[in-house]
Amino acid sequence: MVNVYTSSVIDASADNVWSRIRDFNGLPKWHPLIADSRIENGQPADRIGCIRHFHLKDGGMIRERLLALSDYDYSCTYEILESPMGVTGYVATLKLTPVTDGARCFAEWSAEFECDAGRERELTESIGNGVFQAGFDALKRSAR
């Protein structure tokens, strides 16, 4: 099992950042790698079990299912159903924690998955920096 963990401090309140990331269909509004997104079967974007189908700007397609969503904990958990990354059993959680010293929040994004032997380091780097940190950096820029 491969584990990826990325964390950051964002200079905006947890409420503010959560309002942007809570929408399971809202990735194109804040993540720089996402071209478009839709929720399959017309379901609400906050319904547990809904599936988002999105395209990366490089043309890749990913389908993910929402497993958990908590406005109280500022967290969401999802699994990848289809992707070009070559991972299986991929489950990720994105969570915010309010920082009481100023209007900031601590953001954590983690994932665990299986992959072919020898790809662990490559996937840890591309997911940790290329996806998770890129998303945090975009949220930081939009918080200014």
pLDDT digits (tens, 9 = 90+) for 1-48: 999 999 999 999 999 999 999 999 999 999 999 999 999 999 999 999
Confidence of residue 144 (pLDDT cuts 50, 70, 90): low
Q: Are 135 and 8 in contact (CB under 8 A)?
A: no
pLDDT over 80 at 65, yes or no: yes
Distance (Å, whole) CA 65 – CA 48: 8
Domain that holds residue 86: 2-143
Domain containing residue 44: CATH number? 3.30.530.20
CA angle 44, 134, 3 (to 5 degrees): 80
Distance (Å, whole) CA 129 – CA 18: 21
Is pTM beyond 0.75? Reply is yes
Element (H, E) at 61: strand 61-70
The domain total for the chain is: 1
